[in-house]
Amino acid sequence: MKNEILSHLHDPGQLERLYRSNKGPFKREFSILYPEIQGNALAEFWNARLHYESEEISWGSRKELLFVVIASLVAGILAKLPAIFPISEEFYYPRNIGFLVFPFLATYFAWKNKLPEGKAAFLGFATVVCLLYINFLPNNPQSDTLILACIHLPLLLWVILGVSFVGDDLSNYRKRLGFLRFNGDLAVMTALLVIAGVLMTGITIGLFALIGFQIEEFYAEYVVAFGLPAVPIVATYLTQTNPQLVNKVSPVIAKLFSPLVLVMLVIYLGAIIYSGKDPYNDREFLMLFNALLIGVIALIFFSVAESSTEEKTAWSVWVLLLLSVVTVVVNGIALSAISFRISEWGITPNRVAVLGANVLMLIHLLIVTVMLYKAATKKAPISEVGRFIVLYIPVYVAWVVVVIFLFPLLFSFK
């Protein structure tokens, strides 16, 4: 798409045909190209046209709508397989929860981006390999390596989705940042749909109860079971056909929560000293500590991704820098805690997995902190922070692959 836009930059008719044939990818590619071609009269016209915020809701093409309906139905059927066939829910859901959503989203973007057949086939093959692998692992619910594989597999499926979203230009860091922004928009839209669904559920069950029908069990088994997998699929469809719905909400959320989380983290670290709790001897507390760490890192990365296309105020950059510094401290505490537990009680798959993840996150955070300092002191643009964020993602991918495919062998499936 990028080369086609450049080659037809002086052909209004062909640009119009390109836009109408694939509006989403056209807009993304043009937005990336615009800094290079601004000043051209036709480029200025298309920039104004593509960024004009219409108040109308677009429902996309019939093919898109049909895809969403079919994908939602298939995802719902997959979610109900344990009720249709004699499959244990304890076996099925931990291993296959990621396959209820990610392959459909990856297929959607592969189709929208007109992914080359070779790359699309490779992504499909990788998905099938993951599906077969996780379902053929020995069925030992007490196996730490099995649990780790089930936890990390959705992350690998998320990476496959990212490759499908980026399309045929994986080396373009702006497209990778676009994928991070998409995740933020998807989270916001999904939350809105879930809230609407909860309200509808309460109203529906209440109305039927008034006339003597208790439909809670039926509603949960069929409406909710089909609705939950459909929510991220529908949310993706809405963010792509109507970007104006959330493209202003996500940056506001990022700007609002960054200072609040910074204050919360500082107070929380102080409260830990007086609470008597510590992650060194309390395993559950360490798990919650790491969950907090991952959430804060995600907020930092999301905030940078949201700001990569605009100039941030100096105050916002300094808030992100301070938040990053505090998060480095939190990461250091978590890393020292897991190191202490390994030295005291020995090596286990869980401890090695957490240790590796914490080391990788600490290195990444230190890099981002340095770049945020440069951005805050005007030595580098904020876009450079985003570039270093996405360039490091393959390191996480490599670790995820190791945990999923090598840990079961290294620890003899224990």
Residue 305 near residue 389 (C-beta atoms within 8 A): yes
- Our CA angle for 240, 95, 222, nearest 5°, is 65
- Please tell me whether residues 271 and 187 are part of one structural domain: no
pLDDT at 146: 94
- Please tell me whether residues 68 and 209 are part of one structural domain: yes
- Please tell me whether residues 7 and 103 are part of one structural domain: no
- Please tell me whether residues 332 and 296 are part of one structural domain: yes
152 in a structural domain: yes
- Please tell me whether residues 152 and 69 are part of one structural domain: yes
- Please tell me whether residues 256 and 336 are part of one structural domain: yes
Could you tell me which residues are beta bridge partners of residue 40? 38
55 in a structural domain: no
Which residues, 6 or more positions from 107, have their beta carbon under 8 angstroms from its beta carbon? Answer: 71, 164
Please name the residue that has the structure tokens 């043009």. 30
pLDDT at 133: 96
57 in a structural domain: no
pTM: 0.84
Main-chain dihedrals φ then ψ at residue 248, nearest 5 degrees: -105, -20
Helices vs. strands in the chain: H and E counts, helices first: 20, 0
Sequential pLDDT tens for the chain (414 residues) = 677 777 777 777 777 777 776 666 777 777 777 777 777 777 778 777 776 655 566 676 788 899 999 999 999 999 999 988 999 999 999 999 999 999 999 999 999 888 888 999 999 999 999 999 999 999 888 899 999 999 999 999 999 999 999 887 777 788 888 888 899 889 989 999 999 999 999 999 999 999 988 999 889 888 998 999 999 999 999 988 877 777 777 777 777 888 888 898 888 888 887 877 778 887 788 888 888 888 888 888 888 877 655 555 678 888 889 999 999 998 998 899 999 989 988 899 999 999 999 999 999 999 999 999 998 888 888 888 888 899 999 999 999 999 999 999 999 887
Domain count, the chain: 3
Domain boundary among 181, 214, 245: 245
pLDDT at 104: 96
Burial 81-111 (b: 16+ CB within 10 A, else e): eeeeeeeeeeebebbbbbbbbbbbbbbbbbe
User: Which residue pairs from 347-355 have beta carbons closer than 8 angstroms and sit at least 24 positions apart in sequence?
Assistant: 348/144, 349/144, 349/145, 349/148, 349/407, 349/411, 349/414, 350/144, 350/148, 352/407, 353/148, 353/403, 353/407, 354/286, 354/290
- Please tell me whether residues 106 and 181 are part of one structural domain: yes
- Please tell me whether residues 238 and 257 are part of one structural domain: no
- Please tell me whether residues 86 and 129 are part of one structural domain: yes
- Please tell me whether residues 310 and 203 are part of one structural domain: no
Main-chain dihedrals φ then ψ at residue 40, nearest 5 degrees: -70, 135
- Please tell me whether residues 213 and 306 are part of one structural domain: no
Containing structural domain, residue 354: 252-410
Main-chain dihedrals φ then ψ at residue 358, nearest 5 degrees: -65, -40
